[in-house]
């Protein structure tokens, strides 16, 4: 197991009599990219604000690099970078001038580090342009550049791909993968874009109504049901009478949810009934399908 960077244990948060978070626990290790998902109002942003010390914790603990966020805030937050909602940028300044302002807040962050980060986020050609001329994707990359100037080992992002076009999303995805792999940074990313998270997260945490339903490797999260297999045959007319649980797709294809070990027996039944089989393909469940099954059909809206 890698080094634990972030550990939240039994977090509760109340606003008056209303309990927003109910016993939330999660953990990130060095190099992890954890996708934090759930319907609107599930408690994602509240959890992030508790982790960052932006709201008080009713009960429970947040430890970052071994330091308690409540009892030792300065040390706990020292190696954390974050963007909550939108990055704070001065639109009338250049990208470089924005980074220089942030660099002045930290000891030992000079021109070399700024240049290194600019190259990392691939803004070399536009860093001296005013931010007002940047695309939304470029502003998000500049925001991430600000967040990692001081070489944090934990990066927290709340909806970083909101409003981005496919190219902008791809740029953010590749940047986060590079930070996790090369910088060994732990990344916590809250997002509604499940299809995108599936391409680069190695872990997923599902939260609903303020409670964590599951935190696991992404493949284990998706393992919520039997696999679906699509059979292509010469004629599906009699299939639903021969086999239980069949969904007929068209005249030549049907789907059945079975374990891999059950495929040969299905093949045998079909052959015994003189049905020709042309292909068998496994239909893998997506992260979105797994999310809908685990949350009882709640959509992310």
Taking CA atoms, 8 is separated from 18, 28, 65, 67, in Å, by 21, 9, 12, 11
Q: Write down the pLDDT at residue 258.
A: 83
Taking CA atoms, 135 is separated from 91, 270, 286, 296, in Å, by 12, 56, 31, 38
Q: Write down the pLDDT at residue 300.
A: 44
**DSSP conformation letters of 225-268:** SPPEEEEEES--TTHHHHSTTEEE-SSSEEEEE--GGGHHHHHH
Question: Dmax of the chain from CA atoms?
Answer: 77
Alpha-carbon distance of 242 to 151, in angstroms, equals 62
> 3-class secondary structure for 142-196?
HHHHHHHCCCCCEEEEECCCCCCCHHHHHHHHHHHHHHHHHCCCEEEEECCCHHH
Tell me which DSSP letter residue 69 carries.
T
Taking CA atoms, 253 is separated from 87, 217, 268, 279, 284, in Å, by 49, 32, 17, 9, 17
Rg (CA), the chain: 24
The pair of three-digit structure tokens given for residue 66, joined into one six-digit string: 């071994």
Tell me which DSSP letter residue 130 carries.
B
Residue 243, Cβ density class (10 Å: 0-12 exposed, 13-18 middle, ≥19 buried): middle
- Please state the domain extents for the chain: 4-221, 228-284
The model's pTM: 0.78
Residues of the chain short of pLDDT 70, as ranges, are 1-2, 222, 224-227, 292-301
Alpha-carbon distance of 14 to 58, in angstroms, equals 6
Alpha-carbon distance of 173 to 159, in angstroms, equals 12
* Angle 237-240-242 from CA coordinates, rounded to 5°: 100
Q: SS3 of 275, please?
A: coil
Q: Write down the pLDDT at residue 301.
A: 41
Hey, what CATH topology would domain 4-221 get? Rossmann fold (3.40.50)
Q: Write down the pLDDT at residue 225.
A: 54
The pair of three-digit structure tokens given for residue 57, joined into one six-digit string: 């914790």
Give the DSSP H/E element, type plus range, for residue 80. Answer: strand 80-84
């Amino acid at each position: 197991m890698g080094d634990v960077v972030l550990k939240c244990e039994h977090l509760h948060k109340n606003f008056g009599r209303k309990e927003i978070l109910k016993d939330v626990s999660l953990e990130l290790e060095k190099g992890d990219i954890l996708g934090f998902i759930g319907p609107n109002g599930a408690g994602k942003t509240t959890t992030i604000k508790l982790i960052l010390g932006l709201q008080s914790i009713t009960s429970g603990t947040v430890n970052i690099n071994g330091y308690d966020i409540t009892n030792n805030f300065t040390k706990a937050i020292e190696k954390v970078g974050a963007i909550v909602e939108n990055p704070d940028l001065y639109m009338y300044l250049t990208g470089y001038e924005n980074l220089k302002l942030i660099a002045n807040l930290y000891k030992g962050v000079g021109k070399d580090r700024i240049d290194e980060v600019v190259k990392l986020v691939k803004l070399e050609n536009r860093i001296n342009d005013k931010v007002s001329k940047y695309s939304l994707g470029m502003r998000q990359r500049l925001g991430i550049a600000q967040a990692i100037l001081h070489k944090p080992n934990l990066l927290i992002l709340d909806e970083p791909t909101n409003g981005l076009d496919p190219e902008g999303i791809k740029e953010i995805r590749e940047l986060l993968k590079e930070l996790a792999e090369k910088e060994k940074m732990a990344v916590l990313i809250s997002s509604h874009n499940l299809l995108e998270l599936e391409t680069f997260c190695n872990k997923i945490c599902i939260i609903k109504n303020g409670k964590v339903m599951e935190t696991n490797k992404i493949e284990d999260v998706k393992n919520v049901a039997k696999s679906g297999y699509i059979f292509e045959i010469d004629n599906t007319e009699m299939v639903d009478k021969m086999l239980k649980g069949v969904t007929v797709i068209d005249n030549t294809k049907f789907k059945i949810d079975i374990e891999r070990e059950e495929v040969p027996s299905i093949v045998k039944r079909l052959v015994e009934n003189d049905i020709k089989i042309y292909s068998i393909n496994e239909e893998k469940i997506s992260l979105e399908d797994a999310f809908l099954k685990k949350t009882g059909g709640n959509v992310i809206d």
